[in-house]
A and B are shown apart, each in its own frame.
Chain A
Amino acid sequence: MILLKRVLTTCGYCGCGCGLYVNIEGDEILGVTPQGGHVVSDGKLCAKGWHGFSFVRSPRRLTKPLIKNNDGTFREASWEEAYKTVKEGFTRAMTGGDNTDAIGVFSSARCTNEENFLMAKLARMSLKTSSIDHCARL
């Protein structure tokens, strides 16, 4: 038997950061419950918080790494091959010194704090570029 699970989390749609429980059965979202007493939202949510989660199991989600063929189509690939291709691609672009004008990195205001930090580190430490920015100014 699959048990109903309730997971407390923060809504990821806007900068308010409302608190909610996601009600889960197996791999399916049954719905959400606002978190009473939450410091920001105190038991309230907007339409996006209430209804905005079915995209997570959309059939259009990417489920495997993709690599582009010579004819412009994509084929599925293993993580190992994808990582190798990423490494080769960036290595080709590297100048041997600093790569600020050679490699650009777009981070994301939808990703977590930790991911933005790691992206800054990957850019500056591994790719040796200071050209890191995110689209939220747009």
Chain B
Amino acid sequence: MVATRVFEAKEKGASLYVVDPRRIRLAEFADEYAEIEPGTNLAFVNALIHIIIEEDLYDHKFVAERVENFEAVKESVKDCTAKWAEEITNIPAETIENIARGFAGADKGSVLYAMGITQHKTGTKNVASLANLVMITGNVGREGTGLNPLRGQNNVQGACDLGALPNVLPGYQKAVDPATKEKYGKVWGDFSCFDGNKIPEMFDRIDEGKMKALYVMGENPVLSDPDQQHVMHCLEKVDFMVVQDIFLSETAQYADVVLPGASFLEKDGSFTNTERRAQLIHKALEPIGESKPDWLILAELMQMFGYEGSYENPSAVMDEINTLVPQYGGITYERIQDVGLQWPCPNLDHPGTQYLHKDKFIRGKGLMTVTPYEEPGEQADEEYPLIMTTGRVHHHYHTGTMTREVWTLDREYPGGFVEINKADAEKMGLWDHQMVKISSRRGSITAKAVITDNIKEGVVFMSFHFAESPVNKLTSQVVDPVTKIPEYKVTAVRIEVA
């Protein structure tokens, strides 16, 4: 759907710049396509900022009135010339200059990004550098501008908003803040309000023998987490595990108890999309067999542990959300029956918020961050001469537990595959559709070779939809120090005939 919007903008005369190590479909329509070396985003963005400042193409008024720390960033990118970035990113200096001038010259500029930015050791800095770019060009708080993360799974926004995070309570209220404890304590009584472990840290705690029990709802970490060996080892080790899912996933195999949940067509509730718009889902079918809607399972378990309250339906849960989560204060089922509302929506009279940061940033002035380039955690060498990057293919969804059950989608990409550049394939003497072995410093898997022009030389691409080619056996445990997001986009590998 986002692609549709991009095409519409393009038809109306917008310029499109695509930066990706794979020549994705959108690249065909781009004014400039930059075939970037995986793991070098920061060098590219810093060069854009350097050129825009150097050539005086930045938005002076916006910078003066609404931004802090501009001088420090300016100083930090002073040597980041297009030539310098060309060396690192392999994007021709001229292309970098064209993109910088084009983006700075546009009346409205918008940056769309996904895991290609975040799944790196420098993921947090990558996002911060893009924020610098939209700030110096004044592309904030107006229609058709901004920094727009594209979320893969449907309700990432809602999961974050409503508290599926270790450091905050629902509504991004800091767990360690005494005010949060007091506010939630009134409704929840005694509860744990610390900075908890993020997922990779939970696995570490299990490995150390401290964490004894795990509850996994609707996720399949065996396929989706980096370093599959380590994950399987930990799931094997943990004393007790509950998995709640709609299929017996690879992860569920390790469970002591499996609870059958319901799909989104079998329950009521709400999702929040990437524009922060909360929208209703309605039950179309009864949950299959004896399965139950996940909200009901969670509510019943709460009662097992002594909770005296109860929820008649998801709307009653939303009532509690209205009182505790300021951003959702005015988002009731009644109001979103027909059209969803965008948070922040603090009360029943509030119309919702279309653009964040419209007149001022939430924190006042926008803070620019110095984000120097760092090399990715893994480098190619003689033994592992190729760089593998991972992602999704159009017809599948995350680890494939849903889409692989749908034959009309599965036949489009029926098995694990690895995309290899023609020139690399020739050097290795591979032919199309041959089975190959892909090895990294952590393990080996096999998959079918797909030989293509659409990927950079020296780079191979794999998707993590396929249980028979578990890519995460190969990926490293290098993570972004802030978010703990693993560096999925850069793994050094070797390929040989299987």
Contact = CB atoms under 8 A, between A and B. Distances in A.
Interface of A: 5, 7-19, 22, 24, 27, 29, 39-41, 44, 46-48, 51-58, 60-68, 74, 79, 82-87, 89-90, 92-93, 98-138
Contacts of A9: 264-265, 280-282, 284
A110 B153 contact: yes
Interface residues of B, number: 133
B304 A86 contact: yes
Interface stretch (B77-85, B239-247, B442-450): B239-247
Contacts of A135: 199, 219-221, 224-225
Contacts of A128: 190-192
B159 A67 contact: no
Contacts of B256: 67-68, 85, 89
B291 A62 contact: yes
Contacts, number: 429
Contacts of B218: 107-108, 110-111
29 contacts: A12-B281, A14-B1, A14-B153, A14-B397, A17-B340, A44-B4, A52-B402, A55-B263, A60-B248, A62-B245, A65-B259, A67-B257, A68-B257, A74-B248, A89-B257, A93-B213, A100-B196, A104-B211, A106-B199, A109-B159, A114-B269, A118-B311, A126-B302, A126-B305, A128-B190, A130-B193, A130-B197, A131-B202, A137-B198
Nearest to B210: A101
Nearest to B298: A118
A53 B260 contact: no
Interface of B: 1-2, 4, 118-119, 150-166, 169-170, 175, 188-199, 201-202, 205-206, 210-221, 224-226, 239-240, 242, 245-248, 255-261, 263-267, 269-275, 277-286, 288-292, 294-295, 298-302, 304-307, 311, 314, 317-318, 320-321, 325, 328, 339-340, 394-395, 397, 402-403, 405-409, 483-486, 488
A86 B195 CA distance: 25
Considering residues B151, B219, B290, B395, which has the most beta carbons from chain A within 10 angstroms of its beta carbon? B219
Contact of A29 (B191, B210, B285): B285
Nearest to B331: A113
Contacts of B155: 12, 15, 109-113, 116
Contact of B164 (A74, A98, A133): A133
A136 B151 contact: yes
Given A53-B265, A114-B314, A7 B197 contact: no
B307 A79 contact: no
Given A117-B321, A124-B191, A131-B205, 10 more contacts: A9-B280, A27-B285, A93-B240, A104-B211, A110-B219, A117-B317, A133-B166, A134-B219, A136-B156, A138-B221
| Chain B binding surface SS class | loop
A115 to B, nearest CB: 5
Nearest to B307: A126
A106 to B, nearest CB: 4
Contact of A44 (B1, B165, B283): B1
Given A100-B196, A112-B271, A114-B270, A22 B191 contact: no
B199 A111 contact: no
Contacts of B257: 65-68, 82, 85-86, 89
B140 to A, nearest CB: 21
A1 B202 CA distance: 53
Nearest to A61: B288
Nearest to B188: A125
Among A39, A68, A86, A98, find the residue whose CB has the most chain B CB atoms closer than 10 A: A86
A132 B165 contact: yes
Contacts of B270: 112-114
A18 B340 CA distance: 11
A12 B271 CA distance: 8
A10 B273 CA distance: 10
